Amino acid sequence: MRIGLALGAGGANGFAHILMLEAFEALGLRPARIAGTSVGAVIAGLYASGRSAAEIDAIAGELAVRDSHAWRELLLERKLLRWLELFDPAIGRGGLVSSRAFLNALYGQRMPETFEELHIPLSVVATDFWGRGQVVLDAGPLLPAVQASMALPGVFTPVRIDGRLLVDGGTVNPLPYDLLVDDCDLTVAINVTGKRSPKAALSFVDSVLNTFQIMQSAIIAEKRRHREPDIYIEPDIVDVRALEVGRRDTVYAQSGPARDELKRRLAEAVEARIRGG
C-alpha cells in the first residue's frame, strides 16, 4: 500500500509532526511520498533524507534550547518597522532574518544537496509572490526549496528560484495532501495550525501571525469541502505562538492524543487492506 503523507504549515506547532512520524515508525510503516509546506517542509525534508523520528526530535531539541531566547529578543527588541520591509524593497530584503541561516543551523551537514538524493520522494510548496500562485518544488537543490517554503512574509526573507520571488507556501496551500492523492492508495494529512484562546488584547506580532493562521485554516477547510484526505489528523494545540520554538514540550504534550489516533487509524487502514486483498 502506497501511503502519502502531507505535513502542514504551523510554525512551532510543527513539532507535532515528529510525533506523527513516531506513529508511522511504531507500525513499521514508511510513506511512499511526502509533501510539506513551511515547517512541514522542514520536517519532511529531514525525514525524507533518512532521519528517524528520534533523530529529528534530537535536532528539534537542540533548536528549542538554543533559539528560544534569540527568537524572543528578535520579536521584542527589533523595531516593528522592520515588519514592513516586505512591502518596500528599498528599505530591506523583505524579512527580519534569513531562513537560510535558520536552516543551516537546523540541518547542518545532515542533508543531501538535491531532491534526487532523498530516500523518499518529496514535494514542497512555496508561493510565487508576484505571480500570486502555488509553486511545487520537487527537483534540483533542496535547501533553497525548503527555505522558500518557510519564508513567512515579514519574518524570513523571500527566496528567488528560477527568476521567481518565493515566499511561504502556507499562503496558498498550507496542507498539500492534494499533491499526493493521484499517486497514493492512502493519503494522510496532518494539520498543525493550532488554536488561540480569546484574549482581551493582542500584540502586534500576535495580530499579524494569528491573521495568517486564520487564512490558512480557511484554505484548509475549503480544500476539505472539495476533497477529504483518507486520514485527517489535527492535534489540539492551543496557545503556542508561531515562533515559540522553545515550547516543544508543550506541543508534544498537547499532540500525544493525535499521535495515538493516527497510529490507530493507520493500523485500521492496513488491516482493511489485508482483508480486502
DSSP-assigned beta bridge partners for residue 154:
95
The one catalytic residue in 49, 57, 168, 255 is: 168
Task: Determine phi and psi for 240, rounding to 5 degrees.
Answer: -110, 115
| Kind plus residue range of the DSSP H or E element containing 3 | strand 3-7
Told to judge if 230 belongs to the known catalytic residues of this protein, a careful annotator would answer no
Q: Which of 35, 63, 32 is nearest to 169 (CA)?
A: 35
What's the chain's Rg over C-alpha atoms? 18
**Grid coordinates given for 73:** 529578543
Q: List phi, psi (to 5°) of 52.
A: -80, 170
Q: How far is Cα 14 from Cα 174, in angstroms, rounded to an integer? A: 12
Active site residue 183: no
Q: Catalytic pick from 38, 123, 149, 255?
A: 38
Helices marked H in the chain: 16-26, 39-48, 53-77, 99-107, 142-149, 204-226, 248-276
Q: Which sign does the torsion angle of CA 239, 24, 38, 60 carry?
A: positive
Residues annotated as part of the active site:
38, 168
